[in-house]
């Protein structure tokens, strides 16, 4: 499965960058997480791991917290779009770092992409120092004005490898956990643009080739009307 995930994101680097340039969605999430992490840590120098850094939207924001930020991603093509110099291609289910090497591990819209959140959380715990923090967000859905989940009325469900409940349960097992919900408005056109990213369209049509799955996702979402509300669960765990 990891090879399939890597290939999906290798095929998505340009469309991810274009979506982010237009919407700023991931930088906004990273900015919110950066504030949560900054509030949780003392003013000491911070070494931070951006786990699932992608094309760099999160890395830019997390630099406001970390004195040293390492950008890690499974996809080489995504990392090539990331302008930071401290880049590592790797799997956050098997982190290539020593014990106690970071003050914070941040998963900006990435932890739910692993089919094994227990292992990813264990790895985050391993590389965190005592007193360090782990932060993450997980999607709760896209909601129409009447409060219904957009996908309730469609012929397909949008599924990530792990849902918000899985993520919260695994973090709760290892950390003192705080959680909350963030909402943001998104247009129907931006929802369609998001699902035009091959790696995202794979949530709907995982077995189809990238171009075919994107076309089917566009057709599926063609009649969705906005504005929509996107909801995210945020989570902050303290390594006590």
pLDDT per residue as tens, the chain (240 positions): 688 889 999 999 999 999 999 999 999 999 999 999 999 997 777 899 999 999 999 999 999 998 899 999 999 999 999 999 999 999 999 999 999 999 999 999 999 999 999 999 999 999 999 999 999 999 999 999 999 999 988 988 888 899 999 999 999 999 999 999 999 999 999 999 999 999 999 999 999 999 999 999 999 999 999 999 999 999 999 998
- Domains delineated in the chain: 2-238 (3.40.50.150)
Query: 107-122 burial, b for 16+ CB within 10 Å, e for fewer?
Result: bbbbbbbbeebeebbe
Q: Is the peptide bond before 111 cis (omega within 30 degrees of 0)?
A: no
**C-alpha distances in angstroms, 117 versus 56, 123, 133, 162, 235?**
23, 10, 17, 7, 14
Q: At how many degrees (to 10) do helices 25-40 and 13-23 cross? A: 80
- Residue 44: per-residue pLDDT: 74
- For 66-103, write each residue's pLDDT tens digit: 889 999 999 999 999 999 999 999 999 999 999 999 99
**28, 65, 115, 145, 178 from 93: Cα distances, Å:** 25, 24, 10, 38, 22
| CA separation, residue 57 to residues 20, 83, 126, 236 (Å) | 8, 10, 26, 20
pLDDT at 165: 96
Contact 197, 23 (CB under 8 A): no
Instruction: Please state, in angstroms and rounded to a whole number, the distance separating the CA atoms of residues 7 and 43.
Output: 39
CB atoms inside a 10 Å sphere around CB 80: 14
Residue listed under structure tokens 């792990």: 162
pLDDT score for 45: 72
Decide if 167 contacts 235 (C-beta within 8 A): yes
pLDDT for the residue 105: 98
């Amino acid at each position: 499965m990891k090879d399939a995930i890597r290939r999906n994101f290798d095929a998505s680097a340009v469309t991810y960058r274009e979506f982010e340039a237009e919407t700023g969605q991931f930088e906004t999430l990273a900015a919110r997480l950066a504030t949560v992490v900054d509030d949780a840590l003392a003013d000491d120098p911070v070494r931070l791991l951006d786990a699932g850094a992608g094309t760099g939207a999160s890395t830019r924001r997390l630099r406001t917290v970390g004195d040293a930020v390492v950008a890690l991603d499974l996809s080489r093509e995504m990392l090539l779009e990331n302008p930071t110099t401290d880049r590592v291609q790797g799997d956050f289910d098997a982190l290539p770092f020593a014990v106690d090497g970071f003050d914070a591990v941040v998963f900006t819209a990435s932890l739910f992409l692993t089919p094994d959140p227990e292992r990813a959380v264990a790895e985050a715990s391993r590389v965190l120092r005592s007193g360090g923090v782990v932060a993450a967000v997980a999607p709760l859905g896209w909601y129409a004005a009447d409060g219904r989940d957009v996908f309730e009325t469609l012929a397909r469900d949008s599924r990530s490898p792990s849902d918000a409940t899985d993520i919260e349960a695994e973090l709760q097992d290892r950390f003192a956990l705080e959680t909350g919900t963030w909402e943001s408005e998104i247009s129907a056109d931006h929802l369609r643009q998001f699902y035009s990213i091959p790696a995202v369209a794979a949530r709907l049509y995982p077995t189809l080739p990238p171009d075919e799955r994107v076309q089917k996702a566009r057709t599926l979402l063609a009649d969705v009307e906005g504005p929509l509300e996107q909801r995210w669960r945020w989570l902050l765990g303290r390594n006590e």
